[in-house]
Structure 1
Amino acid sequence: MIHHHPADDLLLGLAAGDLTGGAGVLTASHVESCAFCRERLRTLEVAAGMLLEDLSPAALSADALARTMAAIDAPPPSAATTPGARLPPAPEGMKWPRALGDCTATPWRWIGPGMRWSRVTVPSDPAAKVFLLRIGAGRKLAMHTHAGMELTQVLYGRFHDGRELFAEGDFDETDSTVHHQPEVLASGECICLAYVGGAMVFKGMLARTLGALMGM
């Protein structure tokens, strides 16, 4: 049962095609696993289509037809672009979101006892700060806040950050008004996909140093 969902502005951006890069990947990953948000997205897409019908026609570029036909004739994506083909190993029974199909990621890297991370590269925005975090049962991240928006999609397991419990499929959006310390439940490890729109502001010196090394 999914209890936490993206805000309407994120879904509206996705429906309009304006939400790209890290935020787009995070939001699309949630929509894949959430029937409720898929229906919300369809409603917003219908509304956007109705608005388009009221717009005045615009002239196309001279090569618009040629570019469209070239895209239609392009070969299908190779197996290398399927989710998981260029991502670190996932636990048995877990599948990577299709939204990560064009992304690449580093192998799992150690950041502390029972904690690993992987940097994800989004082709449409290579500079976007997108990460996979794999945290062991009972482990917790350092206390922190955010200099900008942070989006988190739970892919596997559960954690509690002092505000709410977030389980598989749940989505969280935080900013500088939130100070939290996510802690994974003792029942098993947790894997999250995260996008950081600004720097994460850690409380401790060691955590700040690790965050800087990770590009967080």
Structure 2
Amino acid sequence: MSARHAVSDDRLIAYAAGTLSPPEAVVVATHLALRPRSEDVLRALTHVAGDALEDLAPEPLSADALDQALARAEADGGEAEALPPLNDMPELPAPLRRYALGPWRWMGPGVRVRDVLGPRDGDCRVILLKIEPGRSTPRHTHGGVEVTCVLSGAYATDDERFDVGDIEEADDHTLHQPRVVSSEACLCVAALDGQILLPGLLGRLMQPFVRL
């Protein structure tokens, strides 16, 4: 895994501080479970963030601070191994085995999506995306943030390849069309804010039928 396919420092610091949105925290926890060496980076960033917090003036907690803390604790996979799995996919990494799953839904030829019934943050939620070998998603951009971690298989965009444990961080400036380049299906977990957006006239015609 190259550095550019690891979680960004900003997201890791937010994760360590408990301020990352709960859906994104689920994806980051999954990445850390697949790439234990990233824990060393997390510990270093946590130390730096802790030193920075000591220099800040105290601020009152928000009204929903407890709810956010509980959601963050739920998203953290640290104790997930001790909990019985709540879904029918025992092959999933520990942070995902503690959540129930919705049914598979068709998104396009060779592409299916399944809701992870875990924490939400407004329109941001967690999904599983499974793409068969040789298939790709529609070319799209995003209405918000999309943070994706590869669980099995591999996919490529125009100029990058993402393998197991790799993270792709996308937003409304990203236009891509992930295509599976492995001999097995590619399974990913993603925190998705809003819907993907299909460019062009054809995309606008297809948009009502392509929803995650």
Band the TM-score falls in, shorter-chain normalisation: 0.7 to 0.9
Aligned length: 189
- Could you report, residue by residue, the CA deviation over 1:102-124 in whole angstroms, capped at 9, with x for unpaired residues? 42211222333322110112246
Say which SS state the counterpart of residue 43 (structure 2) adopts. helix
Q: What is the identity, as a one-letter code, of the residue corresponding to 2:148?
A: T
Rounded Cα–Cα distance in structure 1 between residues aligned with 2:123 and 2:165: 26
The range that moved more, 45-54 or 173-182, is 45-54
From the superposition, tell whether residues 186 and 100 of structure 1 become closer, same or farther in structure 2 (CA, over 3 Å).
Answer: closer
Q: Counterpart in 2 of 1:122?
A: 118
Q: Counterpart in 2 of 1:208?
A: 207
1:43 and 2:44 matched: yes
Aligned residue runs from structure 1 range 15-164, under 5 A: 15-51=16-52, 81-83=83-85, 85-86=86-87, 88-89=88-89, 95-123=91-119, 125=121, 128-164=124-160
Task: Give the TM-score normalised by the residue count of structure 2.
Answer: 0.76
The range that moved more, 165-174 or 42-51, is 42-51
1:199 to 183, 188, 195: 195
From the superposition, tell whether residues 120 and 57 of structure 1 become closer, same or farther in structure 2 (CA, over 3 Å).
Answer: closer
- Could you report, residue by residue, the CA deviation over 1:31-50 in whole angstroms, capped at 9, with x for unpaired residues? 11113321110112222344
Q: What is the identity, as a one-letter code, of the residue corresponding to 2:11?
A: L
Q: What is the identity, as a one-letter code, of the residue corresponding to 2:183?
A: S
Q: Counterpart in 2 of 1:64?
A: none
Task: Give the TM-score normalised by the residue count of structure 1.
Answer: 0.75
Please report the RMSD computed on the Cα atoms of aligned residues, expressed in angstroms.
2.9
- Say if 1:102 and 1:123, in contact at 8 Å, map to a contact too: no
Unaligned runs of 5+ in 2: 60-78
Rounded Cα–Cα distance in structure 2 between residues aligned with 1:147 and 1:54: 36
- Could you report, residue by residue, the CA deviation over 1:32-86 in whole angstroms, capped at 9, with x for unpaired residues? 111332111011222234445567899xxxxxxxxxxxxxxxxxx9999534x32
From the superposition, tell whether residues 147 and 111 of structure 1 become closer, same or farther in structure 2 (CA, over 3 Å).
Answer: closer
From the superposition, tell whether residues 9 and 163 of structure 1 become closer, same or farther in structure 2 (CA, over 3 Å).
Answer: same
Q: What is the identity, as a one-letter code, of the residue corresponding to 1:192?
A: C
From the superposition, tell whether residues 78 and 28 of structure 1 become closer, same or farther in structure 2 (CA, over 3 Å).
Answer: closer
Q: Counterpart in 1 of 2:65?
A: none
Rounded Cα–Cα distance in structure 2 between residues aligned with 1:132 and 1:149: 16
Q: CA deviation at 1:21?
A: 1.5
Q: Counterpart in 2 of 1:71?
A: none
Unaligned runs of 5+ in 1: 59-76
Q: What is the identity, as a one-letter code, of the residue corresponding to 2:42?
A: L
Rounded Cα–Cα distance in structure 2 between residues aligned with 1:192 and 1:79: 20
The range that moved more, 46-55 or 153-162, is 46-55
The range that moved more, 9-18 or 199-208, is 199-208
